[in-house]
Structures are given as C-alpha cells and as structure tokens.
Amino acid sequence: MSPTDPTAGSTDSAGSDGEAPVLSVRGLKKSFGTNTVLRGIDLDVPRGSVVALIGPSGSGKTTILRSLNGLEIPDAGTVAVAGDDGGSAGSTRPPLAVDFAAKVGTKAIAALRDRSAMVFQHYNLFPHMTVLQNVTEGPIQVHKRPRAQVVAEAEKLLDRVGLLEKKDAYPFELSGGQQQRVGIVRALALKPQLLLFDEPTSALDPELVGDVLEVIKELADEGWTMVMVTHELAFARQTADEVIFMDGGVVVERGPAQEVLRAPKEERTQQFVRRLLHEF
Amino acid sequence: MNLDLALRSLGPMLLEAVRGTIPLTLISFALGLLIALLIALMRISGNSILAAIARVYVSIIRGTPLLVQLFVIFYGLPSLGIKLDPWPSAVIAFSLNVGGYAAEIIRAAILSVPRGQWEAGHTIGMSRGQTLLRIILPQAARVSVPPLSNTFISLVKDTSLASLILVTELFRAAQQVAAFSQEFMLLYLEAALIYWVICLGLSTVQSMLEKRLDRYVAH
C-alpha cells in the first residue's frame, strides 16, 4: 500500500521479439524458522510450456508454487513475469518484477497474484457459493467485469469440462473430481498468464484422477503456460516439457521430461523415480 | 386470581414490550455485533497491542455484572460530568456487554473457517478485507448462529434490568401495575409469560436461519 514501495512498479525485462519467458525466477530462498525449504531456485518457463516440479515431500516444490502466487513470501530472490496484452479485464499487463530481498508491499503481491491462478490439492472451492458463483466471483468482484459477460464465459468453460448442468449446485453436491474441475475453471476464468497446479489429483479417489488429468492435458495442448507440482510421473512424462526434480530445497536435476523421467542422471532422481514408478 | 386485572394489564405491558423491550434488544444487539466484530478482528489481527486491548475489554465485560455496568454508566458517569438519559445509558451498557460476549463467538467462528479459504480468496485476487467479507464471514455466520442466538435470547431477558435505571419497558410496566394493585404473583407471572413467548418466537427464527445457512452443507 505504501506509495514508495520499490517493488510495486515494473521493469521492462521482456524482449521485443517475444522470446522472453513468461516466468523467470532467480535465487528464490525461503526458510520457516530454522528450517530452510528453498536454497536458491532458478526457473524459466517459456510461453506455452509446461514445467513439472517433482520430488519427495518437504523438498520445497509446493513452496515455489505458493511463492509464485504470493501465498508465501520468499526471503530472497526475484520473480519476473512478462507483459501480455490479453489481461484479465481486457487490459494490457506490463512486465512485472518483484524482488523479495526488499520489503514487498501489498500492491506488489496483488500484481503478482493477478498474473497467475492456483489450483489447490484440496480444491478450496467456496462452499457457500454455487459452482457458477465460485467461477464468477473473481472476475466480477476483483476484476469488476460486467456480470453478463463473465457468466457467459463461465458457462462456456463449465461446458468444456462437462459441468454446465451443475452450475447451480453447491460444491458439497459434487464428487472430488468434479470439484477439482470447477477449481480449474475458477482459475481459467481469471485469464491468468500462468496456471499453477499444486498436486491437483493427490486428494482424489483413483478412479476420479483420469478426468482431471485429461482436462489439464487439454489445457497444455491448447498452449496454456503451466507450472505443476505432481506425483503423477506418467502424466508428467506425457504432458510436461521440462521436469525439475527437487530435494532438500535445491534443484537436483532438470531437463526434458523424457530424459529426467526415463533416464535420470543423478542417483537421487533415479531412486525417486524408481520408487514412484515401480516399488509399491 | 384476578382475571379481569390480568386482561386489563396485558395491553399496557405488551405496549411497553413493543416500545421498550423489543427495540432496546434489537438496537443493542445490532450495535453489540458491530463492537464484537471489531473486537474479534482486533484479536486475530496479529497486532499484539490491538489484541491485548481486545482481551482486556472482553475480560472486563465478562468479569463484571451487567447490573454494575448499567449502574456505572447511568449513575456513575454523571459524577464525571457525563449525564445520559435512561434509554441511551441502557443501549450503551447492553451493546458493550453483547460486544464482549459475542466477540469470542465471532472470533472462534472466523478461526473455524479453514485457512485454505483465505488462500483461495487471495489467489483469485481478493484483498484481506474482501476475502473476510465475501468468503470468510458468510461461512463463519453459519457456525455462529446458534451461540449468537443464545446471546440474543439472554439479552431479551437482561433488558428487564433496565427497569432499575428508570427505562420504561415490559418489566417496569409490570412492576407499576403490581405496586398499584398488590397482585404481585399475577403480574410477574404475566410478565414472565410475555418474555417466554418472545423467546419462543426468537427460537423459531433461529431454526429458520440455521436451516437457510445450512443449505450448502452436506447432511
């Protein structure tokens, strides 16, 4: 809120040739008390690409995702998001850079949140709102867009994921898979530059996972830029352009999905992949 | 029993219920809820000074008798040069009292909403205030209706204490007729009956409200 906030403004970092990544993270660090969860993470996500973060629990992958959405405030590091012309309210979004080494104000966090939308492991739908209200709440209340237009878009998105006839239902009336698809539509309705998925299928019954993964796969094929934390390695192999294996707050190995998941170079990655794919 | 007197006194007593007891209750409860929300937000604000002030407030309100609070405001404040009429004195005392009790209810109700709901609000771009108003409080309301109804029903009956600072309300009307007619049992039972009927009505409203707020919860 402070008018002198040094991070609220944006710096022009995007090249004019459109080659600059949508998201560029440098030196991200975060500790909770004495527990260091991120020890300097770099990450570049080109437009239209899908990056999968994998690794054992506690490796810091979820913290990265939450930092990108301002749900955690890192201790140091920068997050830069390219500009785009298809903003949430049809407006142009200028390039944005947030430096967490300085004090980060509410305005900078709000600007950061405007760029991405999060899909949560436990859906976190608003239980007191219908499916349609869940989806339209952000565009209407935050982006102040006209209701009729927002509702029409929301219905189209719900139709896409096969949930249009559920638009007046409350979340408790839906299965987990249906709730998560609403969660995805709620994120899409914000027209973010970046979709963030935090273990989107981990809370689902096994027979409901497929539907949700299929929706995410479609979005990837459509050209959405996505960062996802997942334990579904087979899915990551199919969908992700880059896979990043993390352990202990550092990137252990990164590369094309096929390489990292089929023929990992690092021993820790090999162990992790072997355990998740075979040993049960 | 003097049935004729009972019928003749019913009119004036109901009139004072409608003119005194009910508006006194409604106004004090509404103001009390605002105070309670403020105190509850101070307690969960994360600011230790605000939280301490809120804790002391709740402690004083809950740790002293309502009758003493009424007397301090009506009979005590004039010695500091603040002279209030009976009605405003009663409204202030009851509002402050409700504020203290309801603050704890509202605080607990807000804290009962999962943290993921705050995060979901933030992630769609809402500010803290927007998330509180549109996401958290509607869910907290559902949890707090039963305990707040308790507070409300207690308040209806507590307003009878206002008769002791000269506010004309239901119980004072009963006292006046009783003193005049010497039919104490009859008139006080009649007053009790009217309070009971009012509270029965409120319980019905409570059930309706709970049902409405429960529509989005699995049964």
Structure tokens at B89: 């004195």
pLDDT value at residue A20:
81
pLDDT range class, residue A2, cuts 50, 70, 90: very low
d(CA A88, CA A86): 7
- Of the residues A107, A120, A128, the best mutation for testing chain B's interface (the one with the most B CB atoms within 10 Å of its CB) is A128
Please state the rounded mean pLDDT for residues B148-166. 94
Which pLDDT score is estimated for A6? 40
Which one of A126, A130, A135, A197 makes the best mutation probe of the B interface by having the most chain B beta carbons within 10 Å?
A: A126
Q: Using 50, 70 and 90 to split pLDDT, how confident is the model at A185?
A: very high
Contacts of A70 in chain B (CB under 8 A): 122
Q: Is A128 on the interface with B (CB under 8 A)?
A: yes
Contact B216 A114 (CB under 8 A): no
Contact present, A239 and A212 (Cβ < 8 Å): no
Rounded Cα distance, A97 and A25, in Å? 10
Q: How many interchain CB pairs under 8 A, A with B?
A: 63
What rounded mean pLDDT belongs to chain A? 88
Which of A113, A127, A190 is closest, CB to CB, to B139?
A: A127
Question: Residue A83's pLDDT is what?
Answer: 87
> Average pLDDT for residues B1-9, to the nearest whole number?
81
Assigned domain for A3 exists: no
**CA-angle at B177, arms to B191 and B4, nearest 5°:** 80
Across the interface, whether the CB atoms of A128 and B216 are under 8 A apart is answered yes
Region B30-52: what's the mean pLDDT? Answer: 96
Pairing of strands A194-198, A250-256: unpaired
% of chain B exceeding 70 in pLDDT: 99
Q: What are phi and psi of B168, to 5 degrees?
A: -80, 115
The whole domain housing A265 covers 23-277
What is the number of domains present in chain A?
Answer: 1
pLDDT tens-place string over residues B62-75: 999 999 999 999 99
CB-CB under 8 Å, B120 with A125: yes
pLDDT at A90: 56
What's the CA gap between A280 and A260, in Å, rounded?
21
Residue B150 pLDDT exceeds 60: yes
- For residue A19, name the pLDDT band (cuts at 50, 70, 90): low
Q: Assess if residue A17 is contained within a domain.
A: no
What does the alpha-carbon distance between residue A246 and residue A264 come to, in Å, rounded to a whole number? 13
The whole-number pLDDT of residue B131 equals 97
Contacts of B122 in chain A (CB under 8 A): 69-71, 113
Residue A269 lies in a domain: yes
Task: Enumerate the domain spans of chain B.
Answer: 3-216
Q: Which two tokens stand for residue B37?
A: 């929300």
Give the HSE-up count for residue A141: Cα atoms under 13 Å, Cβ half-sphere: 19
Residues A157-196: b if buried by 16+ CB within 10 A, e if exposed: bbebbebeebbebbbeebebbbbbbbbbbbbbbbbbbbbb
* AA identity, residue B14: L
Instruction: Give B96-124 pLDDT, tens digit per residue.
Output: 999 999 999 999 999 999 999 999 999 99
Residue A124, domain member (yes or no): yes
Q: Are A184 and A216 in contact (CB under 8 A)?
A: yes
In a domain, A108, yes or no: yes
From chain B residues 116-175, the ones with a CB under 8 A of any chain A CB are 116-117, 119-120, 122-127, 130, 134-135, 138-139, 142
* Type of residue at B127: S
pLDDT at B75: 95
Contact of A97 with A106, CB cutoff 8 Å: no
Confidence of residue A13 (pLDDT cuts 50, 70, 90): very low
Hey, what CATH topology would domain B3-216 get? MetI-like fold (1.10.3720)
DSSP string covering chain A: --TT-TTTS------TTS-S-SEEEEEEEEEETTEEEEEEEEEEE-TT-EEEEE-STTSSHHHHHHHHTTSS--SEEEEEE--BSS-TTSPPBPPEEEETTSPPPHHHHHHHHHHEEEE-TT----TTS-HHHHHHHIIIIIS---HHHHHHHHHHHHHHTT-GGGTTS-GGGS-HHHHHHHHHHHHHTT--SEEEEESTTTTS-HHHHHHHHHHHHHHHHHT--EEEE-S-HHHHHHH-SEEEEEETTEEEEEEEHHHHHHS-SSHHHHHHHHHHHT--
Which residues in chain A have their CB less than 8 angstroms from residue B124's CB?
117, 137-138, 142, 186, 190
Cβ-based contacts of A117 with chain B (< 8 Å): 123-124
CATH code for position A100: 3.40.50.300
**A27: nearest Cα among A83, A84, A97:** A97
Report whether B184 contacts B2 (CB < 8 A): no
Q: Does residue A237 have a pLDDT over 70?
A: yes
Q: pTM for the complete prediction?
A: 0.86
The two structure tokens encoding residue A114: 């405007």
CB contact under 8 A, A120 and B218: no
Query: Does a structural domain hold residue A85?
Result: yes
**The complex's ipTM?**
0.88
B218:A114 CB<8 A = no
DSSP B28-49: HHHHHHHHHHHHHHHHTSS-HH
Non-local CB neighbours of B157 within 8 Å, separated by 6+ positions: B195, B199
In the structure, what pLDDT confidence band is assigned to residue A91 with cuts at 50, 70 and 90? Answer: low
